[in-house]
Structure 1
Amino acid sequence: MEIRNYKPTMRYRPFGNRTDVLVSMLGIGAMRLPLTSEGAIDETRAVELIEAGLERGINYIDTAYVYNDGASEQIVGDVLQRGWRDKVYVATKMPVWELERPGDQARLFHTQLERLRVDQIDFYLLHSLNARYWQHALRSESLAWLDEEKRRGRIRFAGFSFHDDFDVFKTIVDAYDWDFCQIQYNYAQHDIQAGTRGLQYAHSKGIGVAIMEPLFGGFLTGPQMPPGASQLFEENGVNPVAGALRWIWNQPEPAVVLSGMSEKYQVKENLRIVETADVGVLTERERQVLEQVCRYMRENVPIPCSKCGYCLKSCPVGIKIPVVFDLYNKHLLVNRKHTLQPALYRGMLPSEKASACIRCGACKKHCPQSIDIPAWLEKVAAEFEGGDPA
C-alpha cells in the first residue's frame, strides 16, 4: 500500500478497502487554525502549526471551500508549496448548497485548485450532506461530475462529509461507489448522526472513514468543558484529551481522526497520545470515566453547539449565535450562581444578542447539529434579557 511522510513514531491505518493508501491515525483539521486579534488566520502561526504535525508523520490535511472564507485552503496551499505536496494527502470539500446552475461545480473546483496550487486533489468530498443537501447534490448531478473529474485525474478519491441520522447516512452510502466518508464521532455523541452504526456500516462496505469533531470543537476538553465533567476526569486521574482520542482509536474502523488544532501545544499533546494508540489500549478506568462524563453532558448541557460558525453567514441580523449559546450553556451549568455570563452578554451589541432574532429560520438550514436555533435564541433572550425577543 502507498504511504506518504512515514515516521516511526506515527501510527497509520488503511483508508478503507477502496483506496491503496495508509493514512496517519491523526490528521490536521484546518477549520480552527490560529487567528489574529482581528479574526483572520494568523498565517505565520498556522503554517508553523501545520508543519509541526507534518514533521512528526501526519500525512492528511482536511480543509474546505468555505473554511475561513477560503483562507484555510490558501494556507494549506502555502504549506504544500514548502516542499510538502508529494509527502501528504490533501482533502477538501465542495459546498453543495452553493450549486445553483450548470457549471458551478467547475467554477468552485477551479477556485480550489488555484487556492491549493495543485492539479489534483487526493480526497474530495461533497460537504456536510444531510437529507436536504443530498437531494440537492442529486439534482445538480454532482455524482456524475465526481465521476468525470476522477476520470480526468483531477480527483483521486471521492467521498462525502455527513450531518444527519443513520437512515440518511445508509441511503447515501448505498447510492454511489464512495471511496471514503467523514462523520462526526466522539464518546459523548456515539449514538447520534451516523454514530457507531454508521461507522461500522461504512467500514463493512470497505469505505474508509475519517472522524471529525473528536473533541466536539473543544467542548470535551480544556476551559470549554463543563466544570462537572472536568471534575470527573480529575478525580479519576484521566486526561480528557487522551481519553477522548483513545476511545476512538480503540475501535478498528476509524482510519484518521481529524483534530482542529489551533495551538502548538495541542499538536504536541495529540502526537504524544497517538504514539501509543491502537485497538485494545483503552483502559477500563478510562472507559468508565468517559461513560460517566457522557451521561453528565447529556443531563446538563442544554444546547449541543460545537461553535463551527456555519450559521453566522446566514443570519440577516448578525446575531453571534455560537457566542450567546456558549454563554447560556456556561451560565446554566453552574446553576446560574455567581457567573460572569450575564455581564458579558449585556456588553454585546443589540444586533448581536438573541433578542434580535426575527425567526426567519435561515440559520437552521446550515446547522450540522440540527439545533432549533430560533427556539433556543428565544430561551437565551428570556434568560439574559428577562423577556421575550423583540
Structure 2
Amino acid sequence: MQYRYDKEKNPVSMLAFGCMRFTKENGKINLEKAEAEILEAMKLGVNYFDTAYIYSGSEEAMGKIFEKNHCREQIYIADKLPHYLIKSAAGLEKTFQEQLRRLRTNYIDFYLMHMLTNLETWEKLKDLGIEEWIAKKKASGEIHRIGFSYHGNTKDFCELVDAYDWDFCMIQYNYLDENSQAGRRGLQYAASKGLPVMIMEPLRGGKLVNLLPEEAKQKVTAHPSGRSAAEWAFRWLWNQPEVTTVLSGMNSIEMIRENCRIASETREGAFTEEETAFVNELKDAINHSMKVGCTGCGYCMPCPKNVDIPGTFSFYNLIYSENKKTARKGYMQCTIFRQTPTSASQCVGCGKCEQHCPQGIPIREELKHASKELENVTYKLAGKAIRLFKLW
C-alpha cells in the first residue's frame, strides 16, 4: 500500500474502505463477513474506514469489529454529522454521542458535515453554534479533524472551502465527473488551499465498470495492458497528486486484494499521453448516449432564478447513460436538499444563459425536458416534505 498525507503529515492509505456497502442478509449486516474483509484490508495496508450516521448498521458493525480485534489505534475512522436532521445545539451533541456509542470509541479521526450543500446551509449551522461546538470537540480530543462532504457545483464548493478553516474535504470525482460536481477545478482549488481531498464514487456506483456501454467494454477488453475498467478509473484518479485517498465500497476479499494491488502499483504523474487518450475514448463512448452536449463549463451561470443548469444537464444525461433511479437520486441531492432549491422547473425562460453558452445549447428548451424527466412525483413530494419540516 502507498500513502499520501493529511495536514499534519500523517499517512493516509491511498485506498480507503467505504463501509456503506457491507453485505446484508435478511436486512442485517453479515458481521462475520464484514470482519474478514476489514481485517484483510488492514493486513494489506488500508487505514482509513468511512461510515455515516445514516448508513444503516454500519457504525455498529465497525464498532464491534474494531473493539473485538483491539485495533482502534491502528486505523482512522471517518464519520459524518447528519446536519439536515439537526435542529439545535443539543441535537448536535446528542447525535455525536450516539455515534461514539455505536462506534465504541471516544474519538473520531475524520469528522465531516455530511453532504454540505452551500454557504446558506453552513450559515444555518453557524447559527446553531457549530463553530463553537467543533472547537470544543477538537480541544477535548473527541474530534481530530473536521471536514465536509459535497455534492453540487464547483462554485458552491469553492465558496465552502473558503468559509471555514477545514482540515479536509470529500467530493464525488471520477473521469466522467471531471467537469461536473466539484470537478477537477474544485479538486485543485481545495488542494491549493492545503486541504487533503478524499474521493467518493470513483466508479460512479459501478457505472464505470458493470454499466459501461458495449463500445467502451470492447475497448477495455482489447487494450494490450489487460487492465480492467475499474483499474483504469482508479489509476486515472491516483495519477493526480491532489487526490489524497479514494473510497471504495468493497464487499469481497477478491475486490479488496485487487484494489490494494492497484493502489500499491500506481504512481502519481505516471499516466502517459496514450493512457490519457484511452480514458478519454472511454468517456466519449459513454457520452455518445447523452442527450445534451453540456461540458459543465459554467458560462451559463449564475442563473437569475438559481437553476443549477450544468448540474441539471449532468443528471439528465445520466438517465440515458446510466439509469433513471441513479439520476433522480443525485438530482434530488443536488437541487432540493439545500436552503435555496436549484431545480430546473424554476426556469422562467429569460434566455440569459443561452447568450453565453459556447456550445449553442437551447438551454431553456432542454431544461423543460430535463424537468419533466427528473422531477417526478417522488421528487415533488420530497421537496414539500423538506420545506414542511424545514430540514434544510
TM-score (norm. length: structure 2): 0.74
Looking at structure 1, the residues matched to 126 and 281 of structure 2 have their Cα atoms a distance apart, in angstroms, of 42
Q: Give the match for residue 142 of structure 2.
A: 154
1:78 aligned to 2:64?
yes
Shift of 1:139: 3.1
User: Which amino acid letter does the alignment assign opposite residue 226 of structure 1?
Assistant: P
Counterpart check, 1:134 vs 2:131: no
> Can you list the C-alpha shifts for 1:227-266, whole angstroms capped at 9, x where unaligned?
2321221232442111111111101111111111122221
The total of aligned residue pairs comes to: 317
What is the rounded CA distance, in whole Å, between the counterparts of 2:164 and 2:214 in structure 1?
44
What pairs with 1:76-115 in structure 2 (closer than 5 Å)?
Answer: 76-81=62-67, 82-115=69-102
Match of 2:51 among 45, 58, 63: 63
271-280 or 132-141: which moved more? 132-141
CA contact (8 A) 1:123 1:156 kept: yes
Residue equivalent to 1:12: 3
Instruction: Verify: 1:187 aligned to 2:175, yes or no.
Output: yes
Of 241, 244, 251, 1:252 maps to 241
Sequence identity, in percent? 37
Q: Which consecutive unaligned segments of at least 5 residues does structure 2 have?
A: 293-314, 345-369, 379-392
Q: Which residue of 2 aligns with 1:319?
A: none
Q: Please give the per-residue CA displacement for 1:133-185, whole angstroms capped at 9, x wherever unaligned.
A: 33432333322221121112110111111111111111111111111111111
Q: Which runs of 5+ in 1 are unaligned?
A: 1-9, 304-324, 335-340, 346-351, 382-390
Q: Normalising to structure 1: TM-score of the pair?
A: 0.74
What is aligned with 1:375? 372
CA RMSD, Structure 1 to Structure 2 (Å): 3.0
Matched, 1:276 2:276: no
Structure 2 counterpart of 1:213, from 201, 209, 214: 201
Contact 1:188 1:294 in 2 (8 A): yes
SS of structure 2 residue aligned to 1:86? helix
Aligned equivalent of 2:10, options 21, 30, 45: 21
For 1:278 and 1:198, how far apart are their aligned partners in 2?
Answer: 22
Judged with a 3 Å threshold, the aligned counterparts in structure 2 of structure 1 residues 123 and 244 are, in CA distance, closer, same or farther, namely: same
The residue number in structure 2 matching 1:171 is 159
CA distance, structure 2, for counterparts of residue 363 and residue 204 of structure 1: 25
CA drift at 1:29: 0.7
Would you say 1:200 and 2:192 are equivalent positions? no
3-state SS in 2 of match to 1:294: helix
Note if contact 2:190-2:196 (Cα within 8 Å) is conserved in structure 1. yes
Q: Match of 1:77, as an amino acid?
A: G
- 1:58 Cα offset (Å): 0.5
Which AA in structure 1 matches 2:242? E
Structure 2 CA distance for aligned equivalents of residues 54 and 229 of structure 1: 33
SS of corresponding position for 1:211: strand
SS in 1 for 2:236: helix
- 1:174-224 per-residue CA deviation (whole Å, 9 max, x = no partner) reads 1111111111110111111211111111111111111111111111113x3
- Helix, strand or coil for the counterpart of 1:188? helix
Q: 1:145 to 1:379 in 2, by over 3 A?
A: closer
